[in-house]
A and B are shown apart, each in its own frame.
Chain A
């Protein structure tokens, strides 16, 4: 069953001149951690805002937990948690006060809200800072507080818009581990342009570009489907790499991409290309350091589908 689904979702701004979403088709299976990947301005945040009921779609349909996102019902919002891209909170409140306030907005009684606030402060690593004013928090602490308030109601579906932004490496590791632990119980839709984060925690990935979904697949399957393996060669000198690239025939044997000492070879018959490459290297006496047939990374898929680097 899908926890989140959209059909031909369109959002236009500036009197219809700018399309932030252009017929988005999205399906997120229940209990999965879904990586919503795309370059800046692709429409990720707009899609999340529509799904959380903050923004109305121009046309198309969206469902979250079986509820239509149109009209932004309180029933829908009682089942979701949301961390915005640039979380802002009341600077005059303490972290604990904000979490109690957030929990009470979900109808939790005062005593339970306080207990839950302490729990999520502990989970988010802010137990020691819960009594301090948010105005004095660092960017990373605000981000952690953002995640804490998003999970304070034990949501069925969690929307995280760039959850690792402004976190240091340790904070990022903690957050990703925390998201991974939610798998199976909570459906997580996590938007990001950090490919490594998606590879680490997401079991399904959707790549969005110019308001349209260009690919959706399980994380491991994405490479096989959308970008074939590559032959990577590393030479001892850039001269050797350049000489090899110049000698490589621009025909059916495949394309060559030079990056300093490294060369990426893409070919339909990769073992055949490997043998041909070894022959060419031996014939010219080029110093080869490494040769490897490597599965396509998410970055390869992303660059191939989106057509530019993020």
Chain B
């Protein structure tokens, strides 16, 4: 029988996520913003209006819609939720290198690629599960507060948002495999995030960047098809980050 260490490593990773409460924290954060986003979209204009009235200023704002709720949801996930996700991801590989537990595993008949693959798969599974849960909450609450958005369009928007989240999870994972400390991995992850965001003003290139997926997600919820450019660009970043992590980690010495 051929020896397959990947399922053993994957089980260990998933169990670690559960035991360390990372799964719980992530689930709560995603659900919170899934529920809070439509609520913010609904009541922000009223709050702004009341502030204006208090100061003797009349502020006229359009009536919020389900599209505003979706836009608010996309914005929250792409900022605060992603920030939490990067914090929870940045130690995935480097923490094991620092603690010495990576050497314990790597001296067993498990390849370094399998070690990384189990970690990345766990991060993707966790992020996907949390986002799906959050999207379900956001959809349901938007339906309650406004009107139900088109389900297929909302699924498409969620897919674009998911690809955006997974792209940043993967670049953080890359830095975690490359860096020598969690702090360095975290700083480099945020710098990558900032760099990609700052490139969004660069004409044609910006069409291929993961940031474009966010506007594409909001448009998709309104029925516009997803453009291929950010999908291809984000997929390329993911492939490069995974390949870079595998190649670098192969020559890591404990």
CB nearest neighbor in A for B12:
A101
Interface centre among A53, A80, A107 (most CB of B within 10 A): A107
Determine if A84 and B103 form an interchain contact, defined as CB atoms under 8 angstroms apart: yes
Contacts of B240 in A (CB 8 A): none
Determine if A88 and B100 form an interchain contact, defined as CB atoms under 8 angstroms apart: yes
Determine if B101 and A80 form an interchain contact, defined as CB atoms under 8 angstroms apart: no
Q: Mark B187-201, 1 if CB is under 8 A from A, else 0.
A: 000000000000000
CB nearest neighbor in A for B3:
A107
Known: A49-B254, A55-B254, A78-B3. A102 touches B100 (CB 8 A): no
B1 within 8 A of A: yes
Q: Mark A98-129, 1 if CB is under 8 A from B, else 0.
A: 00011011110000000000000000000000
Determine if A106 and B254 form an interchain contact, defined as CB atoms under 8 angstroms apart: no
CA distance A52 to B20 in the complex (A): 31
A82 within 8 A of B: yes
CA distance A88 to B107 in the complex (A): 13
Interface residues on A, range: 20 to 34
Determine if A56 and B251 form an interchain contact, defined as CB atoms under 8 angstroms apart: yes
Partner of B104, one of A74, A89, A92: A89
Q: Mark A183-211, 1 if CB is under 8 A from B, else 0.
A: 00000000000000000000000000000
Determine if A77 and B108 form an interchain contact, defined as CB atoms under 8 angstroms apart: yes
A86 within 8 A of B: yes
CA distance A102 to B104 in the complex (A): 9
Determine if A54 and B101 form an interchain contact, defined as CB atoms under 8 angstroms apart: no
Partner of A82, one of B1, B20, B107: B107
Interface residues on B, range: 20 to 34
Determine if A92 and B254 form an interchain contact, defined as CB atoms under 8 angstroms apart: no
Q: In angstroms, how far is the closest chain A Cβ from the Cβ of B205? A: 37
Q: Which of A64-100 contact B (CB under 8 A)?
A: 74-75, 77-78, 80, 82, 84, 86-90, 92
Determine if A88 and B8 form an interchain contact, defined as CB atoms under 8 angstroms apart: no
Q: In angstroms, how far is the closest chain B Cβ from the Cβ of A29? A: 23
B148 within 8 A of A: no
Contacts of B104 in A (CB 8 A): 84, 87-89, 149
Partner of A89, one of B9, B101, B251, B254: B101
Partner of A92, one of B9, B16, B100, B253: B16
CA distance A49 to B252 in the complex (A): 12
CA distance A52 to B106 in the complex (A): 10
Q: Mark A224-264, 1 if CB is under 8 A from B, else 0.
A: 00000000000000000000000000000000000000000
Q: In angstroms, how far is the closest chain B Cβ from the Cβ of A14? A: 13
CA distance A294 to B109 in the complex (A): 48
Contacts of A75 in B (CB 8 A): 109
Partner of B8, one of A53, A74, A105: A105
A-B pairs with beta carbons under 8 Å apart, 27 shown: A49-B254, A53-B107, A54-B107, A54-B254, A55-B253, A55-B254, A74-B109, A75-B109, A77-B107, A77-B109, A78-B3, A80-B107, A82-B107, A84-B103, A84-B104, A87-B100, A87-B104, A88-B101, A89-B101, A89-B104, A90-B12, A92-B16, A101-B12, A105-B108, A106-B109, A107-B1, A107-B4
Residues of chain B at the chain A interface (Cβ within 8 Å) = 1, 3-5, 8-9, 12, 16, 19-20, 99-101, 103-111, 251, 253-254
Question: Top 5 A-B pairs ranked by shortest CB distance?
Answer: A88-B100, A107-B3, A105-B108, A78-B109, A74-B109
